[in-house]
Chain A
């Protein structure tokens, strides 16, 4: 058989040199007069091993990584086209512990298939959910999603089925599905990986959402920082349209659904759903007051279902395998799986999809392998720039919406940033305020002015100016922001700030005069 070589073109892999490696492999093949089929895939999400190259052999797929261009010749010499040993040999990818320990439902195909091959997609279980959806009533689709226990993966954790029901119940001549692909949180890249690595699953999820709610038009609002995801989504939509997965007769049924990609313009707040709708309408991304709910009066005043990429991409497997199958994973009111993104100063950074319920410590230490620098972990921020900093003493917190809320934190979009003991938590608190000031939409005074005052006040603490008084002032400011902000940008910035103050008080204590830098 002709060997098949899989090389990721996910941006994380590209950032580690995957394009050069692909070129080197092509050159080496030519030079040796060998033939192989090269397939560009998404990423499996094991970023410390990227670029991870896989070869299809008689015994299945064999992985090598991290591959640098200088390794290519020796890989061929070692016989990597037949899966032979080499110092970068990793064996069957599924047996690498980081992958073996996962439960991949939403990410079942990511890194395995050619993202733009619909045949590949179907061969790996794709479109089965859409076919099931077409065979039942919209109300039954909504019921299945509700019973699965799926909650919004964009951050707020609102039950997806309930929102879908609201949109279904509206009578309107036009309804919209809007996919929130703004993914602005630091430490998150699950949306990006799906859009680059398995875009059809998002298309399938959106088509199902359209059929379920009676919406015929879908927009994917992708942040401009994700140029590769934009290209991949657009290409996948074209393929899907030609194959009647989108269009006026979805898979030959009377259902119609069209999709379009829109690109953001570098505003974090546009990830907030109503700001995003304003942006789609061509306005400034100012947050709208609710009510009216977008489900009732959303895009251009029409009923609009707005969901995160992962929420929508989890729908096909729920329809295919059934609500119970999905719901049986997880704990408490957090059902199913969650793609945890392990990032920052960590040895094994990447995407880890697992049932809810693992503890933070297991994720950081057992799965992540501790810090990249080898120093002790000082803090981990969970849930992006609006999420709290957790000290190792809270590592027994299980990954569950309610458990995190009980510890004054949040799961958000499930990004985790690990910091080693050189981190300065005052600096992190200051950054949280600064970020809020940079990204505020300007509508509420506590967010717009409070954040700037927060930066100034933390600077005073840092300079040793009336630290006790200024610390109390920051706490006050946080309270005002928490209760006086319209959206979670101003409202949740207190999470990183107060958690830094509460869990790491030593970093806010008066400092000895500048010690020699390390």
Chain B
């Protein structure tokens, strides 16, 4: 059996998940740090990781699943090579973030919560990056970008397609 869209063996997932758990065992309330680290390890939280985590933390599978689905950050499937987050909160709205989003969507041919067919980029809305005095703002992978305009959008699109 293999993971959808990914060539990782279940046994491998279990082993790597167990290693992540081991390095967080000393923490109080370790579930979120473990899930962050699992996502860092695999690029998403594999369903096959959950029973391993649940058993180690002595919680039910349903509980582990409930936590993963509650938080917007945890992915259930791999993202594109890049992740582009466009701020859609009020301060960015006041500077035309909706127009920027339209430009990006049409340039990339995808909507929010979608990944480009060539796997280059996943597009997501985000509600505030704390860059509200430099609106509209975005985050491309780990890079923060302020005062988005048509030119900046072109650069971003070129960057993710590279």
Shortest Cβ distance from residue A69 to the other chain B in the assembled complex, whole angstroms: 14
Q: Please tell me if the beta carbons of A345 and B146 are within 8 angstroms of each other in the complex.
A: no
Interface membership of B89, Cβ < 8 A: yes
Number of interface residues of A (CB under 8 A): 62
Distance between Cα atoms of A12 and B142 in the complex (Å): 13
Are B90's CB and A12's CB within 8 A? Answer: no
Judged by a CB distance under 8 angstroms, whether A285 is at the interface is: yes
Do A16 and B73 touch (CB < 8 A)? no
> Are A265 and B36 within 8 A (Cβ)?
yes
* B32:A184 contact, CB within 8 angstroms: no
Contact A349 B132 (CB under 8 A): yes
Contact of B74 among A12, A263, A265, A346 (CB under 8 A): A265
Distance to closest chain A CB from B78 (angstroms): 17
Which one, B30, B129, B132, B137, contacts A417 given CB within 8 A?
B132
User: Given contacts A12-B146, A227-B142, is CB(A186)–CB(B128) below 8 Å?
Assistant: yes
Task: From known contacts A186-B132, A282-B29, infer whether A267 and B70 are also in contact, taking CB-CB under 8 Å.
Answer: yes
One of B72, B91, B137, B146 near A266 (C-beta < 8 A):
B72
Interface centre among A342, A346, A350 (most CB of B within 10 A): A346
Contact of B144 (CB < 8 Å), options: A15, A341, A342, A418: A15
Task: List the A residue with the shortest CB-CB distance to B139.
Answer: A225
Per the bound structure, the CA–CA distance linking A286 and B139 in Å amounts to 28
Q: Are A186 and B133 in contact (CB under 8 A)?
A: no
Tell me the complex Cα distance, A224–B144, Å.
13
A342/B133 in contact, CB under 8 A: yes
Inter-subunit contact A50/B134 (CB<8 Å):
yes
Question: What are the residues of chain B within 8 A of A268 when measuring CB–CB?
Answer: 127
Choice from B31, B93, B95, B130 contacting A431 with Cβ under 8 Å: B93
B82-113 contacts to A, CB under 8 A, are 89-95
B13 at the interface (CB under 8 A from A): no
* Interface-located stretch among A137-145, A187-195, A238-246: A187-195
Is B128's CB under 8 angstroms from A185's CB? Answer: yes
The A contact surface, by secondary structure, is mixed
Q: Is there a chain B Cβ closer than 8 Å to A407's Cβ?
A: no
Docked pose: A188 CA to B31 CA in angstroms: 28
> When the two chains form the complex, which single residue of B70, B74, B90, B147 contacts A344, counting CB atoms closer than 8 Å?
B90
Q: Could you tell me which residues of chain A, from 356 to 393, have a CB within 8 Å of some CB in chain B? A: 372, 381, 384-385
Q: Which residues of A contact B33 (CB under 8 A)?
A: 262-263
Q: Is B15 an interface residue (CB 8 A)?
A: no
In the complex where A16-B147, A284-B67, A419-B94 touch, is A186 in contact with B89 (Cβ < 8 A)?
yes
In the complex, which residues of chain B have a beta carbon less than 8 angstroms from the beta carbon of A385?
Answer: 89-90, 127
A29 contacts B by Cβ under 8 Å: no
Does A183 belong to the interface (CB within 8 Å)? Answer: yes
B130–A47 CB distance below 8 A: no
- The answer to whether B28 has its CB under 8 Å from any CB of chain A is yes
B18 touches A (CB below 8 Å): no
Residue B145 at the chain A interface, CB threshold 8 Å:
yes
Say how far A193's CB is from chain B's closest CB, in angstroms.
8
Across the interface, which residues of A come within 8 angstroms of B25, CB to CB? none
B-chain residues with CB within 8 Å of residue A341 when the two chains form the complex: 132-133
- A285-B70 in contact (CB<8A): yes
**Counting CB contacts under 8 A, is B5 at the interface?**
no
Interface string of A168-187 (1 = CB under 8 A from B): 00000000000000011111
How far, in whole Å, are A338 and B8 apart by their CA atoms in the complex? 52
Report whether A186 and B91 are in contact in the complex, using a CB–CB cutoff of 8 Å. Answer: yes
Contacts A14-B144, A186-B89, A285-B70 given; indicate if A418 touches B127 (C-beta within 8 A): no
For A389, the closest partner residue in chain B by CB is: B90
Q: Is the CB of B135 within 8 A of A189?
A: no
Task: Please state if A266 and B128 are interface contacts (CB–CB under 8 Å).
Answer: no
Output the least CB separation between A145 and chain B (Å): 27
Q: Is B126 an interface residue (CB 8 A)?
A: yes
State A224–B33 Cα separation when bound (angstroms). Answer: 12
What is the CA–CA distance of A415 and B131 in the complex, to the nearest angstrom? 12
- Residues of B with Cβ closer than 8 Å to A? 28-33, 35-36, 57, 66-67, 70-74, 89-95, 126-135, 137, 139, 142-147
* A-B pairs with lowest CB-CB distance, top 3: A282-B31, A349-B133, A15-B146
A-B contact pairs, 30 of them (CB 8 A): A12-B130, A12-B133, A15-B137, A15-B146, A16-B146, A16-B147, A50-B134, A184-B128, A186-B91, A187-B91, A188-B130, A189-B131, A192-B130, A227-B142, A228-B144, A262-B33, A263-B33, A266-B72, A279-B32, A282-B30, A282-B32, A283-B31, A343-B133, A344-B95, A350-B133, A384-B90, A415-B132, A417-B91, A435-B89, A435-B127
